[in-house]
Amino acid sequence: MTITRAMTTTRLKAAPTLLAIDLNRQYLMTPHGIQKLIVLAFSVLSAVSFSLFAEPKPILKYNLNGSSTWVPYYIKNGGDKPGILREFIPRMLDKAGIEGQVLEFPPRRTNQALQRRQLDFDIVSPSWFENDQISDDFVASIPFLPIKEYVVTLAGKSSAWAQTHQLHGKRIGTVMGYIYPNTHTFTRVDFGSERELVRALDKKRVDAAIIGDLPALYWAKQFDISIALASIHSDGELVIRLHKSQQALLPQINQSLQYFIESGEIDAIVAQYADYHPAQSPHETIKP
């Protein structure tokens, strides 16, 4: 009796389910039901087609580091403060719908890698080139960040270097692999980084060096060396130097850059590095 009652109960429970299935089948055979089935099938096929045939994000290979001591634009082992460009460029590319692949090269090899198409872009200022002209093999984005380079000396020595023409024929400290305008007018004395240039000034291995203002001030403070920003050597803005083979992506890049400029987001990133901006005026002696 127990078994019979249990089987009877199961049948009673199953009956509404079977009835519901039968009713659903009947509904699906109506014109309205068939229309819903068509819409559902189209939605599923569209989703599958999109996942199978949607174009992947374009990938651009790039290098940011310049030298390994290009503070505050690139900060090696900086933890949550990796540097202005190391924070900004990935966010800009993401906004542009581009996937970035970072490849790190020293400055000299960066230029070679760009020519050999091992890299698609880097960050430069046209003011670093003769007549502000980047090579015909590249296209430049809109400018997005001001940058200056100075002729830097030890404190008390700046008057001898207050004019650009005073570099003519002199030995001037430079970073190996870096590009400078008017290099034919002076003799380059290459060092590995901005940090080494500041130390070379202190050790009197050179009397003057060309260094970005922020890196110079930062490393002078780190080493407790009094320096002077004697004269401006270049004054411009950073741009993305993109190989011409990828110039179809330039409108996306420019649109993303424009967004970060107009929204103030790039200024917010720069503001996070205020500790790396010693407040000094040009031509003043810097006493860390």
Give the per-residue pLDDT at 11.
45
Q: At 223, which amino acid appears?
A: F
CA angle, residues 9, 12, 15, in degrees to nearest 5: 150
Above 60 in pLDDT, residue 182?
yes
pLDDT confidence band for 7 (50 / 70 / 90): very low
Confidence of residue 124 (pLDDT cuts 50, 70, 90): very high
Q: For Cα atoms 155, 158, 163, give the angle at the middle one, nearest 5 degrees.
A: 165
The rounded percent of the chain whose pLDDT value lies above 70 is 77
Count of alpha carbons within 13 angstroms of residue 102, beta-carbon side: 12
pLDDT, mean over the chain = 84
Longest dimension (CA), the chain: 115
Residues 6 or more apart in contact with residue 285 via CB below 8 angstroms: 155, 156, 158, 226, 227, 228
Burial class (CB in 10 A: 0-12, 13-18, 19+), 238: buried
Contact of 152 with 228, CB cutoff 8 Å: yes
SS3 call for 77: coil
Q: How confident is the model at residue 260 (pLDDT cuts 50, 70, 90)?
A: very high
Contact 99, 126 (CB under 8 A): no
Q: Grade residue 20 by pLDDT with cuts at 50, 70 and 90.
A: very low
